[in-house]
Chain A
Amino acid sequence: MGVALVLIFFVAQVDADQGISQKIFYFHVPIALTSYVCFGTGAWKGLRLLWTGAERYDLESYTAIHQGTIFGALTLITGSIWAKASWTHWWVWSDDQLVLFLVLFLFYCAYFMLRTSIEPGSRRERISAVYALLGVALIPVSFLAIRLSKSFIHPVVFSRHGPGMTHLQFTAFCVSWAALLLLVYVMYRIELIGKRTDSELRDLREAVAA
C-alpha cells in the first residue's frame, strides 16, 4: 500500500489533460475492480453452497458481499470526487460505470435487508446464495442496459489496443490494485474470523442454556 502511494504521487507522470485530479484514477478504478472481485467471490461461494450444501460457504459469501458493498460505496464516493474535479458536478448520469455502481449498490443493500428479515437456517443460506448469483448476472446485463440507454463520455482507458497509459503509470495502477486486493483480503479474513467466532459463541450459549 505504501509503495503504491509513493508510485502514485511521486513517480507516475501527471496527466497532461486532467492534471493532478487524474491521480484519483489510481484509487477509483482499482477500488471498483476490487469490488467486482468481491461480488464475484460472493457468488462463487454461493454456488459452492448450493452445490455442496456445506454451511461454511454461507458466512464466506456474506462476508465477501459485505466487503464488496463497502468498496462499492467507496467507488461511488471517489467517482463523485473525480466527477467534481473533471466535470464540475458531483454527479453525472452520463458516466456508465458510476450509474452501474449505483444500481449494484442498491441491489446489494437490498441483499442485507432480505437476509436480515429471514430466520437463520438453511433456507436463509440458500436464498442468500441464489441472490448472490442473480447479482453477478445483473452486472453485465445492467452494464449493457446503461450503455444502450445513452452515449458515453467517460475516458475509456483500456481499449482494444492495450492500455492508453505509459509503462510507469500502468505499473502504478497495477501496484495500487494489488495493494487494494491485499487489503480487501485481510479485511475479509478478519471479518470472517469475527463472524465465525460470533456464531460459535451463539452455539455454545445455546448448548449451555439447553
Chain B
Amino acid sequence: MAYSDKVIEHYENPKNVGTLDKNDNNVGTGLVGAPACGDVMRLQIKVSDDGVIEDARFKTFGCGSAIASSSLATEWIKGKTVDEAATIKNSQIAEELNLPPVKIHCSVLAEDAIKSAVEDYKKKRAARQALGAAEPAVATEESRAQ
C-alpha cells in the first residue's frame, strides 16, 4: 500500500513518543484498541491547573497509519484545553494524513484515545475535588481500555 508523505514523515519521525506518570493527578491516560485487532494506542496528557494540555505522549502498537495518527493527535492537542482537545474529529486526522478508506479506523482510534485520556483526567480531577483539596492526592484506578 502506498502511504502519503505525511504518514511516512510521522512514522519515521514520530512526535511525542513516551510515557507520562499515570499516577500523577494531572495526567490523563487513554488506552484504546485491542491487540487482537492489530492496533492499541495509549495517549497521555499532562494538564495544567487552568485546564490546558501542557504535554502529550503516546505509544502505539499498530501499522504506520496508526502510529502517524497518534503522533499527529499528540501534536494537535498540545496547547489546547481539554475541552477543545475532545472536539477533535477523526475525519480531521484522516484528512490531514490522507488516509485511504481501509485506514480510517486508525484515525477513529486516535480520536477515541484523546477522548479517553480527557475522560480519565476529568475523572481524576473530580475524585480529587470530592476528597477535598487538602487531602493528599490518591492515585486513581489505572486506566483501562474502553
Bound pair: A and B? no
